[in-house]
Structure formats: C-alpha cells, structure tokens
Amino acid sequence: MATYAVGDLQGCLTPLKQLLDMVEFDPREDTLWLTGDLINRGPESLETLRFLYQSKDHIISVLGNHDLHLLAIDAGYRTPSQSDTINPILTAPDKAELLYWIRHRPFIHHDCQLNYTMVHAGIPPQWSLEKAQEKARIVEQVLQSDRHSVFFENMYGDSPSGWEEGLSITEGWRVITNYFTRMRFCTEKGQLEFETKTGIEYTPKGYLPWFAHKKRKTRNNNIIFGHWAALEGKTNSDRLFALDTGYVWGKAMTMIRLEDREVFSIRAQAN
C-alpha cells in the first residue's frame, strides 16, 4: 500500500499513465493525490478527466484555478480563451457528472496519519493549518451547494488583495479562493501580488514567496502544492514539495511517493 502525489496534469494523460506504470500503481491498494489543474492547455483534457473520474475511488484531488475556470465557463460567468483545451469537456455527453465531481473537490486535503497537507497554490503565511481548513470549508460549502452560481459570479478579481476584517461575504470567498488557487508572492500579512509568475529569482520588491516568510504559521507542516511551474520543484525546504514541474510547458511531470519521498519523473518529449 502506497500513496503517490503528482503535480498539475493540465490535460496531459499520457505522462500520468507512464508514471503510474513506472511505480506499478495498484488501484486496489494504492492512492493517488493530485495538486489540481487537472485539465486545460494540454491535449487530453476530456480523456484525463474521464480517466480520473473512473478511478475516483482511489484518487484525492484539490481544486486548481484551471478547474474553477472550467466550472465558471460552464456556469456562464467566463468565456473560453484561445489557449483553452476544454471545449471537448463542455460538449461531452457525460459533462454533468464530470463537472459535478470537480465541483465537489476540496481546496485543502490533510492526512493526519501520513502528516501531509495538499493544496493547489499554497497557504498564506498568517494562517495556521487549522485556520486554512476553516476558511476552505466556507468556500467549499457554497461551491458544493445550489448557490454555486453566486460563487462563480463573484469569484474573479484581484481585489481585495488579502484577508482583512470587514470583508463582504463574496469578497471573503474571492480572497480565500485566490490564496488557495492563485497565490505565489505575498507579504507576511498575506497581501497578494498577482503579476509576477517567474521563479523566486525575480521576487518583486516588498514581497516573498508565500512559503519563504520566517513567521509562516505552517512552517512545521509538510505541504504539497502545484501551480508554480517556474519553481521547477525547488523550495529549499524538506517540508515543502512543489510538484508542478511544467510538463505542459515542455519540461517534466513529477510524482512523489509519500511514505519514503522517492521522486519519479517523466520528461516531455521535444517536438
């Protein structure tokens, strides 16, 4: 019995299957964790989603920004961009059950026995794990309810840039969602910077990577995350596991076995 975590798939099913074959994944005993962004930009978005849905009993996935983007388009609050590869999902006969499954994924997954926490982008430095779980539940409850259209209507935006007292309900939803699915750089108090998507060598003035703040309240937690391909898996910490290593950008897909932290990787083939 083993637990494997893999970075953002983004509609790249072939390398995922290669990794599963590499580790001799056994769905009767093993479990697969996914950091979100299951679909979009890659060539097999519908196929990826169907494969995961068929295997859902041994898969744990958190929500990523591309997953929410798909749901928002389907709800009528966003239009597809030219780089999207999700139209086959939106026109599929099994769309309803696939999107229902995505909409019911959590923002955070924590396993007390394994002592790992998984989130798509990160946890803001001013929140403990317990606080982050509490905030995640607030948004999960509305997203999984019959009020989810109200959530998508108010989801997009860079403002407010961080959590503060006195936010409206919908502003609170937006900040929580931005923390868990979009965050890279922020201040110690959790004010977000959205423009910079490079590696940490180009950290904007006044900000740090969310995980680099010395007083970060989750610094003693083992955290698995994706979203930030420019990190190339490097965090300079044995408690942080950045698993989005940019397969869809021509680099690699990375998987880790949580029990012994052995890393497995598939390089993208050059065109």
Do 136 and 176 contact (CB within 8 A), yes or no?
yes
C-alpha dihedral, 106 to 233 to 40 to 196, nearest 10°: 100
Place of tokens 């001799």: 24
DSSP letter at 41 equals S
Calpha distance 261→259 (Å, rounded): 6
21/219 Cα distance (integer angstroms): 34
d(CA 57, CA 61): 11
Q: 160 preceded by cis ω (within 30°)?
A: yes
Q: Which residues are catalytic?
A: 66
Going through 130-259 in order, the beta strands assigned E by DSSP cover: 185-186, 192-193, 208-209, 223-225, 240-242, 252-257
How far is residue 265's CA from residue 110's CA, in Å, rounded to a whole number?
A: 24
Calpha distance 92→75 (Å, rounded)? 15
Q: Which two tokens stand for residue 200?
A: 């940490």
